[in-house]
Chains A and B, each alone.
Chain A
Amino acid sequence: SQQGEEDPQALSIQEGENATMNCSYKTSINNLQWYRQNSGRGLVHLILIRSNEREKHSGRLRVTLDTSKKSSSLLITASRAADTASYFCATALYNTDKLIFGTGTRLQVFP
């Protein structure tokens, strides 16, 4: 079964609104990463948060990590039509070289 699961599976919003996606995981991690995938393309790294960090910002992105609840959230503020994509969380399992991806959230931002 997947280590990470995103919620919701799909999200539709208007331009200018904020988008929040959540990720839950099952086992201890070294870090959690968020990636973006435009339709038909490869994944692009957005942000990495380590297990000893609680919050991280990058431009319009804000990521939080709660290791006690084994969950993370990705907030995109003031969304744009160009943010339309699928977003995946990926967990780096503790003491391994493996990155395990969740099933993704499909975000649609309408102009």
Chain B
Amino acid sequence: NAGVTQTPKFQVLKTGQSMTLQCAQDMNHNSMYWYRQDPGMGLRLIYYSASEGTTDKGEVPNGYNVSRLNKREFSLRLESAAPSQTSVYFCASSEASQGALYEQYFGPGTRLTVT
């Protein structure tokens, strides 16, 4: 099992460009999450999906959109990138629909720089 995979690993964007970060899990998990991690700070939740077809906002959703394409895949889209979105982005998944009740499995991250 690959676990949680993310693409790309690195990306540089210019201000105003758009891009989609891809995440897939092969553990048949119900819940999936997108976090961002900035220097000196913990992870902050952007969006999450408790099950296929549902998505909810986290702490810092502004400037992002998500799609739960199917049970395996959860993508994060930046429509018009801003320098404040420079960060490392992590995708995670969890077994149950109430994902916070169980451990989460993380992908390796995408390092995004917006110039």
Contact = CB atoms under 8 A, between A and B. Distances in A.
Contacts of A90: 42-43
A99 B108 contact: no
Interface in A24-65: 30-31, 33, 35, 40-45, 48
B100 A98 contact: yes
Contacts of A30: 100-101
B90 A42 contact: yes
A97 B106 contact: no
Nearest to A94: B100
A55 to B, nearest CB: 18
A101 B106 CA distance: 13
B99 A97 contact: yes
A101 B98 CA distance: 17
Interface in B96-115: 97-109
A77 interface: no
A76 interface: no
A41 B109 contact: yes
Contact of A96 (B100, B102, B103): B100
A97 B50 contact: yes
A42 B42 contact: no
Interface of B: 4, 31, 33, 35, 40-45, 48, 50, 56, 58-59, 90, 92, 97-109
Nearest 7 pairs of A and B residues by beta carbon: A101-B42, A42-B106, A92-B100, A45-B103, A101-B43, A43-B106, A99-B100
Interface of A: 2, 4, 30-31, 33, 35, 40-45, 48, 88, 90, 92-93, 96-104
